[in-house]
Amino acid sequence: MTADLIAELLDGQHRALARVITKIENREPGYRNLVSQLHEHTGHADVIGITGSPGAGKSTLVDKMAATYREQGLTVGVIAIDPSSPFTGGAVLGDRIRMASNVGDMDVFFRSMSARGSLGGLSTATTDAVKALDAFGKDKIIIETVGAGQNEIDIVKMADTVAVLVPPGSGDDVQMLKAGILEIADLFVVNKADLDGADRTVQELREMIEYRDGGVPSMVGHHGASATGGGFERAEADTEDGDDWTPPIVETVAKDDEGVDDVLAALADHRTHLETSGELEEQEQMRYAEEIRTLLREDLSVLLEREIDRRGGLDDYVERVRNRETDPYAVSDEILDPIVDCLERQRD
């Protein structure tokens, strides 16, 4: 069945793609084998991350982006990460109506997935689903995150290009960006730019970018940001060797389809920069290293849970800790000792 399912997916059958992603998301028996066999067919899609605070208009922008890509003859896969239910683990908002501009278009595959409590709103299942879409042959894969704040930095481990949406007049959001998320943005989008405060938000973002690049004020355009006409100017290199990328700022009114072409142009520019600078290969190396570390942590956690269950659970250990007969560090060492001994014997 696995061979048939993979063959159908590679043959471009959307039903097979949906079945594979369902198996991946539910972690059904055999899903690891599925993902392993799909891996050799990946590495062709352009993966774009869309993140930002709740209410910034991420879903609307993603909808318009997908429609514009389709007008260009490109196929699109969208994974929208929703908050997970604390009871079922499923996506709380999974049934919401999205992608209204692309209903009925089979070349836009949309999937709402649960964050499953993962830090940053992204889970291992999301990584595997991206591989399925890539192997299927989607040209563009867009990941829309939950939008829960600074933890959204996890998207950088999965996407080639990350766009951060900032609504106008959002002083708190700009402060949040200063706290860390600024570093992951390859592109800033000030959506709902027809509202009051858009110009101020653009100016604050520009000042942040200039400060990050050395604190020296720069002319608009040289650092890629422009607040005129709702568009943007191409980011130019800050160094003589042309290896640096400075995030441009794009103003949009996504609900009216204004500025969407500018967003896509900025994304294309960044893709070109990645390819010509060699950063795309560096990103891929970093991404796979992080994926392996994540899988090792997850698999080791399962292995330890089984060992703890075999010993009768944690209750006895907890009671001994409460009675001050031992401590949590000593318990951890005691449980891990057999694994450490096994590794040392193999090393010898």
pLDDT digits (tens, 9 = 90+) for 310-324: 889 999 999 999 999
Quickly state the pLDDT bin for 270 (edges 50, 70, 90). very high
Boundary-marking domain end, from 277, 305, 331: 277
For residues 164, 113, 110, 137, the Cα torsion angle rounded to the nearest 10 degrees is 90
246 and 317 together in one domain:
no
CA 178 to each of CA 50, 175, 205: distance values in angstroms, whole numbers, following the listed order: 18, 5, 9
Judge whether 184 lies within some domain.
Answer: yes
Model confidence, pTM: 0.82
233 and 327 together in one domain:
no
Boundary-marking domain end, from 277, 305, 322: 277
Q: How far apart are CA 58 and CA 98, in angstroms?
A: 11
Distance spanning both ends of the chain, measured CA to CA:
42
Domains identified in the chain, total number: 2
State pLDDT tens for residues 130-184: 999 999 999 999 999 876 554 466 788 889 999 999 888 765 556 655 556 667 8
158 and 306 together in one domain:
no
Q: How far apart are CA 348 and CA 341, in angstroms?
A: 11
258 and 114 together in one domain:
yes
State pLDDT tens for residues 201-255: 888 888 888 876 665 443 333 223 333 334 444 444 343 445 688 999 999 999 9
The answer to whether 141 touches 48, Cβ cutoff 8 Å, is yes
For residues 196, 200, 202, 204, the Cα torsion angle rounded to the nearest 10 degrees is -150
> Where in the sequence is the domain holding 129, given as residue range(s)?
41-277
108 and 237 together in one domain:
yes
